[in-house]
Amino acid sequence: PNRYLSSLPTTVFTVMSQLAFKHDAINLGQGFPDTEGPADIIAVAAEALKDNRNQYAPLTGLPELREAVAASNQRFYGLEIDPATEVVVTSGATEALAACLMAVVEAGDEVVLIEPLYDTYLPMLKLIGAVPKCVRLQPPHWDLPEKELRAAFGPKTKAMILNSPMNPAGKVFSRAELDLIAELVRDHDAYVVCDEVYEHLTFHVKHIPLMTLPDMRERCMRIGSAGKSFSLTGWKVGYVTASAALASVIAKAHQVMVFATAPNLQRAVAHGLNKDDEYYQGLSADLELRRDLLRNGLNRLGFETLPADGSYFIVADITGHAQGRTDVEFAKWLVEQAGVATIPVSAFYDPGGPAAPQNLIRFAFCKKPEILEEALCRLEKAL
Ligand code: PMP
Ligand code: GLN
């Protein structure tokens, strides 16, 4: 079998969820909400199942979903998108990421990445044969180092992956940082895979798609996920917005990997995307309360927390409590002794790169307030 895949460890999210189950722990590791998404969206999916919506959908997605994606781009970001040629519906943002990378990157091409990074990026690039060039954000403020970013771009750069709002750092890239990225992308004639699955989960900080900056419209592939925007992570419905020239190639990658995504879910996601502004405001306001609850509790327990302006996640510095343990050891101890599962942040760094920080763990706060309270109580008892 393929040597790279054979040696690839099982994802840390599955490992930690299994440990959480084994120790009957509260799972603040894997990022999924512990409540269902909106009942009206689920009802549309259920209706569609009964309404003869059970054969292959069109390759690039149901027209009603492509139209809803285009309308959402217009409503939130003022982007003019042609639903017929500039939207591709995929089976989750994960498939969208693979399809976008396959669409523009070939063996030997360099791709710029920002660490800490989501765990599918590197394996996807390795399977394509691309060469990752990682730049590290600097804790404790998750600053983007300009010199290192400039140095990561070169004549072989083909693309960059930009995740904003970011998992696991909770960082939302500022306009000034995006301006710098846009300048480098333009100067190196590169593409950008914009992983914006947490686009609607920001806390009093505006999410700016890189695609809205000058000269970026034709270079960016903007990825969204119904899983995150509607708290339905198991549905695995994603969507890509890109120029017609790129979207037609992304559609070819989708054609050979998946071909078409479940039609009933697509119809329901179209309904979801058309929800009013109040829904989207409620989603982020509700999550912000949970972030504050967990952050304040962690601070009270003596953990310093890093800024988290978006996503499901907040990172805490374990230095005061770790007693020499690494993040991996501490996370294992927490799940076994405190009954709280988290994710060690070193898992979000290139294993082939320089040593990753070992003093940070990630908490998911997309859980019920009473569950977060209970997790804090358990931590207090164990520490
Ligand atoms: N990108 C990031 C940064 C994520 O956190 C996730 C969530 N798992 C994904 C992509 C994948 O999204 P989906 O579940 O829609 O495939
Ligand atoms: N995106 C989720 C997280 O970061 C998990 C996705 C997965 O389990 N593959 O926790």
221-263, pLDDT tens digit by residue?
A: 999 999 999 999 999 999 999 999 999 999 999 999 999 999 9
Q: Is the pLDDT of residue 86 over 80?
A: yes
31 CA distance to ligand 2 middle (Å): 5
Distances in whole angstroms, Cα of residue 282 to Cα of each of 202, 255, 275: 11, 36, 11
- In 3D space, the residue among 247, 197, 233, 188 whose CA is nearest the CA of residue 215 turns out to be 188
6 CA distance to ligand 2 middle (Å): 21
Point out the ligand 2 atom lying closest to the alpha carbon of residue 364.
10
Q: Is the pLDDT of residue 335 over 90?
A: yes
Interval 268-277: pLDDT, tens: 999 999 999 9
Residue 195: enclosing H or E segment and its boundaries? strand 191-195
Interval 172-182: pLDDT, tens: 999 999 999 99
User: Which pLDDT band, with edges at 50, 70 and 90, does 53 fall under?
Assistant: confident
* Closest Cα to atom 8 of ligand 2: 13
277 CA distance to ligand 1 middle (Å): 23
Q: Which two tokens stand for residue 205?
A: 């900080």
Cα 336 to Cα 350: distance, rounded to the nearest angstrom: 27
Interval 179-220: pLDDT, tens: 999 999 999 999 999 999 999 999 999 999 999 999 999 999
253 CA distance to ligand 1 middle (Å): 18
Segments making up each domain of the chain, as ranges: 3-30+278-382, 40-275
Q: Is the CB of 311 under 6 A from ligand 2?
A: no
Interval 99-146: pLDDT, tens: 999 999 999 999 999 999 999 999 999 999 999 999 999 999 999 999
Q: Is the pLDDT of residue 52 over 90?
A: no
Q: Is the CB of 163 under 6 A from ligand 2?
A: no
Q: 263-273 and 39-50 helices cross at what angle (nearest 10)?
A: 150
Q: Which of 228, 232, 269, 343 to mutate to test the pocket of ligand 1 (most atoms within 8 A of CB)?
A: 228
- Write down the pTM of the prediction: 0.98
Ligand closest in space to the Cα of 121: 1
19 CA distance to ligand 1 middle (Å): 21
340 CA distance to ligand 1 middle (Å): 23
Ligand closest in space to the Cα of 170: 1
Topology of domain 3-30+278-382, CATH: Aspartate Aminotransferase, domain 1 (3.90.1150)
Ligand closest in space to the Cα of 362: 2
Q: Which of 118, 161, 315 to mutate to test the pocket of ligand 1 (most atoms within 8 A of CB)?
A: 118
pLDDT score at 132: 98
Point out the ligand 1 atom lying closest to the alpha carbon of residue 163.
3
Peptide bond into 63 cis (omega under 30): no
Q: Is the CB of 264 under 6 A from ligand 2?
A: no
Ligand closest in space to the Cα of 163: 1
For residues 68-89, average pLDDT: 98
pLDDT score at 285: 98
- Please return the burial class of 355, using the count of CB atoms within 10 Å of its CB with bins 0-12, 13-18 and 19+: exposed
User: Which pLDDT band, with edges at 50, 70 and 90, does 325 fall under?
Assistant: very high
User: Which pLDDT band, with edges at 50, 70 and 90, does 376 fall under?
Assistant: very high
Cα 191 to Cα 311: distance, rounded to the nearest angstrom: 24
Q: What is the ipTM of this complex?
A: 0.98
CATH number of 40-275: 3.40.640.10
Instruction: Supply φ then ψ for residue 333, to 5 degrees.
Output: -65, -40
Q: Is the CB of 30 under 6 A from ligand 2?
A: yes
